[in-house]
Structure 1
């Protein structure tokens, strides 16, 4: 493959991955239709949160099996699975809304919601894996585009629905069922992982950048098998014994084993500014390393905070407006809900894009840790929770939705790269699946706490639906929980920065001892 065609293929694949990701973040638009759905089917806030949590559960709990499929069978199969699951999940929900109360029980609706989560996870896994494999030397920037599109997804579909189906929740749900699956379907043919074997110019890590890492890998290979620095699930390649022409580079190939991507002598240093000695760890071997638990706990603390606001901003809007001005009609409140979903989506998009690109700048130009991006996310989350606890005027609620979306975007803009840097790209999709188990726990806890607190302040109306008119008191207690979680998130980030610094100093000391 010529250099020009090689680069064009990689660029087209990033566009395809970005388009697929645009169909995968619609679970974050749940607040745009959840209050109307709950009202028509006469559901409580807790039941509504169970449905929303089921989507999050499908998204995050399916990460491990979907990741294994992506790593072993290639991104296209996982994207195809995602396309089918999105259609199977959203269309029955649309049907239930059309038929009204009693047409479908909570368990079945939650199962359909769970399927939308699986579909989002599968399609996004294929998109993210493609971007990660095709741009190994610019991983943060390349993954920033599909990550940003994922964050923009809710805004994208909300704007289309607002034009095509104004004040029509049924039309919005129909758009989600058809629009998401069709967008993935038309993008799959362009989702291609290039063979770096035929492209020799996209090869070199400059000698000045790679010297320290090359020295570390030389030292790494001289360690005894009993040393903790060689306890990886997949041993690092020995460049001297590898003929790059003999290595398969199909869709399942990893960055580390793409021989045309790096010359043999530099193959072991393909990970940019990789401070962790655990090269290519995947599967259950992850649980043996403190780096995994550090990232897992951090993700759990912060994603739970974000998911609670993302899933319940619609209820926040309803509660504040019913208390602030009880003369406003339902259409007005619905438009405000859509506005806040759009704010969250746009700010998430901005946060993901700036964090993904910014993390590369932080590492390459400032020679600092990517964990500073996660620390920024934690701090923004903390400010957002303070705003949520204090804001009683619904006209100022944009501060909560905007800051929450920004913090969530910054977190997910850098986190996949943190995982790839920590454990290598070979089993990235599987490792990312393990990491996404964290929100299954925290998301469930925080969402169900919000639902229970909101229901405790709600009253059943004569028409059958439940409503709370106490304003901020309807949900304030829930945000005290997430405030504490945000604070501990900041502490976890600072610990991660310190731990990374200690590892780096330890490597330098051992290198000096090796050369002495």
Structure 2
């Protein structure tokens, strides 16, 4: 099994980093965990709260084509590094906005930070998907991409578990600020660590990793 899917150990490490990046970066689905309290704390109307919530998806989907082109030009590592920076700044900014450290409760500021969040998520997605798609041979590429999609889908569950276990807020205690700071650290430094394996292996691209020879099958 190992030799079939991972003819070289570096390929296994790339997959692990791509899966880790997928799990921690798809933070759009984490918005319901802090969004309602954020809107309430800052006094946003229902319309403003909905626009803020939608801003993350807008940033994600509108930036995908451009980030895809940049990834093709400069490689996945630079995209992932950019995503790590944007995710960290976005959550750190939301935490500061929540407690008034930005000296404003501006609805426009919240929208801007969520746009950055969406763009950062898209950057890491592009890095993860291209690292897997370009490195794995056609015989297992679909399996690896399916695994990657699964980890992106599990991101919301991952953050829900963290929130429920350590940052559940109550009427007497609000842990939203702490949760946002932890999100900044996880997404920023976690993605930064994942960049060590997000790359295109020249031998994989040139040789297409002959899996039949690697497994000794006909």
Aligned match of 1:166? 168
Answer whether contact 2:136 2:208 (CA < 8 A) is retained: no
Residues 235-271 of structure 1: per-residue CA shift (max 9 Å, x gap)? xxxxxxxxxxxxxxxxxxxxxxxxxxxxxxxxxxxxx
Q: How does 1:322-337 map to 2 (within 5 A)?
A: none
CA RMSD, 1 decimal: 2.2
Residue 123 of structure 1 deviates from its aligned partner by 0.8
Q: How does 1:246-265 map to 2 (within 5 A)?
A: none
Counterparts of 2:102 and 2:197 in 1: how far apart (Å)? 42
Q: Point out where structure 2 has 5 or more consecutive residues left out of the alignment.
A: 170-174, 214-218
Residues 27-68 of structure 1: per-residue CA shift (max 9 Å, x gap)? 111112111111111112211111111111111111111000
Aligned match of 1:84? 85
Aligned match of 1:132? 133
Counterparts of 1:19 and 1:191 in 2: how far apart (Å)? 10
Tell me whether 1:193 sits opposite 2:200 in the alignment. Answer: yes
Aligned match of 2:75? 74
Aligned match of 2:172? none
Q: Which contiguous aligned blocks of 4+ residues in structure 1 show a shift greater than 6 angstroms?
A: none
Q: How does 1:10-159 map to 2 (within 5 A)?
A: 10-99=11-100, 103-137=104-138, 138-159=140-161
Q: Kindly tell me: are residues 7 and 28 of structure 1, through their superposed partners in 2, closer, same or farther at Cα, counting changes over 3 Å? A: same
Answer whether contact 1:23 1:181 (CA < 8 A) is retained: no
Answer whether contact 2:137 2:210 (CA < 8 A) is retained: no
Residue 102 of structure 1 deviates from its aligned partner by 7.2
Aligned length: 202
Return the TM-score normalized by structure 1.
0.37
Tell me whether 1:202 sits opposite 2:203 in the alignment. Answer: no
Tell me whether 1:183 sits opposite 2:190 in the alignment. Answer: yes
Return the TM-score normalized by structure 2.
0.85
Task: Determine which structure has more spread, i.e. the larger CA radius of gyration.
Answer: 1
Q: How does 1:463-482 map to 2 (within 5 A)?
A: none
Counterparts of 1:8 and 1:71 in 2: how far apart (Å)? 24
Answer whether contact 2:137 2:208 (CA < 8 A) is retained: no
Answer whether contact 1:86 1:180 (CA < 8 A) is retained: yes
Counterparts of 1:8 and 1:65 in 2: how far apart (Å)? 32
Residue 108 of structure 1 deviates from its aligned partner by 1.3
Counterparts of 1:12 and 1:22 in 2: how far apart (Å)? 15
Q: How does 1:288-367 map to 2 (within 5 A)?
A: none
Residue 124 of structure 1 deviates from its aligned partner by 1.0
Aligned match of 1:490? none
Residue 200 of structure 1 deviates from its aligned partner by 5.8
Q: Kindly tell me: are residues 53 and 10 of structure 1, through their superposed partners in 2, closer, same or farther at Cα, counting changes over 3 Å? A: same
Q: Kindly tell me: are residues 36 and 199 of structure 1, through their superposed partners in 2, closer, same or farther at Cα, counting changes over 3 Å? A: closer
Q: Kindly tell me: are residues 200 and 103 of structure 1, through their superposed partners in 2, closer, same or farther at Cα, counting changes over 3 Å? A: closer
Aligned match of 1:485? none
Q: Kindly tell me: are residues 56 and 116 of structure 1, through their superposed partners in 2, closer, same or farther at Cα, counting changes over 3 Å? A: same
SS of the aligned residue for 2:154 comes to: helix
